[in-house]
Amino acid sequence: MAPMLERYVSPGKGNGLRATAKIRRGVLVTSAEPVAYCVSNKRAREVCHHCFTRCETLLRCSQCKMARYCNSACQKRAWPGHKKECRCLCSLLPRHPTDSVRLAARLIFTLLNPLQSSKEELYSIDEHESHLDSMPEQKKEGLSELATMLELYMKTEIPDLKQRMTSELPLSCREALSIIAKVTCNCFTISDGELQEIGVGLYPSLSLLNHDCRPNCVMVFNGTELQLRAVQDINPGEELRISYIETLSLTEDRQKQLEEQYHFTCHCQRCSSKEQDGVMLSGREAAWRQLKEALPRLEGLQLESNWLELLESCSNLLTSAGEEVPDENLYKLKITDMALDASVHLGRWEEALSFGLKTLPSYRLYYADPHPVHGVQLMRVGKLQHHLGCIEDALESFKEAFKILKLTHGEDHPLIVDLMMKMEECRSEIDLQQPSN
Ligand SMILES: [Zn+2]
Ligand SMILES: [Zn+2]
Ligand SMILES: [Zn+2]
């Protein structure tokens, strides 16, 4: 493990990671490759299953017809890890396993192949919590179904799966159910630079990171590599913390999500003080309540990609009840963001830009520390301004995005390289506009 951090027992939280030296914000604390990973089913047609690059045309595995690669080099490199999985996928056709079943199977293949997996990884997976004892029955039943699916999926490849797991794996990893529970509690969502989900992966050494609703570190991915960066200055001995969930939500909702998904009660400073809850609920309750109650239906439209109806509904709400609610109200912000999303999909750029601009002061307010979400939003707005010919505004937005993203993504990240190119384009377009006398 990198020398900037070490394992320790965090008071009241079990294992944790802490800084061994002073870490300035923006510094890459550590990076890690996953012991097992896979592309999400919903992205399976768009990204390379090996390097996670988004590609217009992908080569398809001729056998399972599911795995796709940007070129034969990626396919070749993926084969040792895909070979066994490929036969499992074929055996289940036309059905596809869920993401967690695929990931769990990949983990089991790795664990059963001691050449590939290091002792340290084996040890940490053994230590991963499964939370099976504290889990509500209903959730446990759901996991049991996944475990049955996992056994069925792996049957053709490893007919004596149960015996092999019992004789070769650490005590806590010997049952399909406990593996599935560990995987669902400890996997990380792998996203691209613009924070779109691409897949799931297991990074055992970083599963030790505890949660905070105002974290001092963020995780960003470059391909499948996880990079942990400081977003605050951190003192030696201080615990390194990330947020397991979207931080832009009310204390009550964050706590509920953490309890349901991660089985603990958050006692962080932000939860104790409930700071920001008041601002997030600003405005007259009867007005914002209408926005809040409309959200589930709007989220449904978004999921169905029904952009036209989504944009109409959002616009109507924003001009009726939304009119008297301040922009920083959480529900208004969510609806404005959905309207932005819908108008981008519909190619209605002017509308998109006006929605985007409305969100920025709230993003600035709620993301006090550098945060990828804030940087990406600024970049989105900058692209719209650029597209609409507002070059100087675009350059300003890109510069502001750069200040944040160079801290959260690092200067070598493809997203930053892209952003720097955009800034260069703006500068040369501005130069061209200047009268040449
Ligand atoms: Zn690739
Ligand atoms: Zn295949
Ligand atoms: Zn908290």
Ligand index nearest the alpha carbon of residue 249: 3
Q: Are strands 241-242 and 210-211 parallel, antiparallel or unpaired?
A: parallel
Query: Could you tell me the distance, in angstroms and rounded to a whole number, from the CA of residue 55 to the centre of ligand 1?
Result: 8
Does 296 sit behind a cis peptide bond, omega within 30 degrees of 0 on the bond before it? no
Q: How far is C-alpha 48 from the chain's CA centre?
A: 18
Are residues 96 and 66 in contact, defined by beta-carbon separation less than 8 angstroms?
yes
Query: Could you tell me the distance, in angstroms and rounded to a whole number, from the CA of residue 398 to the centre of ligand 1?
Result: 29
Query: Could you tell me the distance, in angstroms and rounded to a whole number, from the CA of residue 230 to the centre of ligand 3?
Result: 18
Global pTM value: 0.91
Report the top-level CATH class of 279-433: mainly alpha
pLDDT of residue 1: 47
Query: Could you tell me the distance, in angstroms and rounded to a whole number, from the CA of residue 52 to the centre of ligand 1?
Result: 6
Query: Could you tell me the distance, in angstroms and rounded to a whole number, from the CA of residue 45 to the centre of ligand 1?
Result: 13
Query: Could you tell me the distance, in angstroms and rounded to a whole number, from the CA of residue 190 to the centre of ligand 3?
Result: 23
pLDDT of residue 173: 87
pLDDT of residue 388: 98
Query: Could you tell me the distance, in angstroms and rounded to a whole number, from the CA of residue 431 to the centre of ligand 1?
Result: 38
pLDDT of residue 278: 96
Query: Could you tell me the distance, in angstroms and rounded to a whole number, from the CA of residue 209 to the centre of ligand 3?
Result: 14
Query: Could you tell me the distance, in angstroms and rounded to a whole number, from the CA of residue 122 to the centre of ligand 2?
Result: 26
pLDDT of residue 263: 86
Ligand index nearest the alpha carbon of residue 224: 1
pLDDT of residue 350: 98
Query: Could you tell me the distance, in angstroms and rounded to a whole number, from the CA of residue 192 to the centre of ligand 2?
Result: 23
Ligand index nearest the alpha carbon of residue 256: 3
> Whose structure tokens read 């089913």?
41
Beta-carbon count within 10 A of 417 CB:
12
Beta-carbon count within 10 A of 123 CB:
11
**pLDDT 10s digits, 222-238:** 999 999 999 999 999 99
Query: Could you tell me the distance, in angstroms and rounded to a whole number, from the CA of residue 79 to the centre of ligand 2?
Result: 8
Pick the closest to residue 238 from 12, 19, 21, 9 (CA basis): 19
Query: Could you tell me the distance, in angstroms and rounded to a whole number, from the CA of residue 151 to the centre of ligand 1?
Result: 29
> Whose structure tokens read 């017809």?
65
Query: Could you tell me the distance, in angstroms and rounded to a whole number, from the CA of residue 82 to the centre of ligand 3?
Result: 39
The dotted CATH code for 70-186 is: 1.10.220.160
Query: Could you tell me the distance, in angstroms and rounded to a whole number, from the CA of residue 77 to the centre of ligand 1?
Result: 9
Ligand index nearest the alpha carbon of residue 75: 1
Q: How far is C-alpha 222 from the chain's CA centre?
A: 12
> Whose structure tokens read 């509920």?
256
- Within the chain, which residues score under 70 in pLDDT? 1-2, 114-123, 436-437
Pick the closest to residue 266 from 5, 12, 1 (CA basis): 12
- What share of the chain has pLDDT > 70, as a percent? 97
Domain ranges of the chain: 70-186, 279-433
Beta-carbon count within 10 A of 135 CB:
16
Query: Could you tell me the distance, in angstroms and rounded to a whole number, from the CA of residue 408 to the centre of ligand 3?
Result: 21
pLDDT of residue 151: 96
**pLDDT 10s digits, 134-168:** 888 998 999 999 999 999 999 989 999 999 999 98
Pick the closest to residue 100 from 51, 56, 38 (CA basis): 38
Ligand index nearest the alpha carbon of residue 262: 3
Query: Could you tell me the distance, in angstroms and rounded to a whole number, from the CA of residue 10 to the centre of ligand 3?
Result: 16
Residues 144, 141: Cα–Cα separation, whole Å: 5
Query: Could you tell me the distance, in angstroms and rounded to a whole number, from the CA of residue 76 to the centre of ligand 2?
Result: 11
Query: Could you tell me the distance, in angstroms and rounded to a whole number, from the CA of residue 72 to the centre of ligand 1?
Result: 9
Residues 6, 27: Cα–Cα separation, whole Å: 16
CA 53 vs CA 20, 45, 71: distances in Å = 34, 11, 11
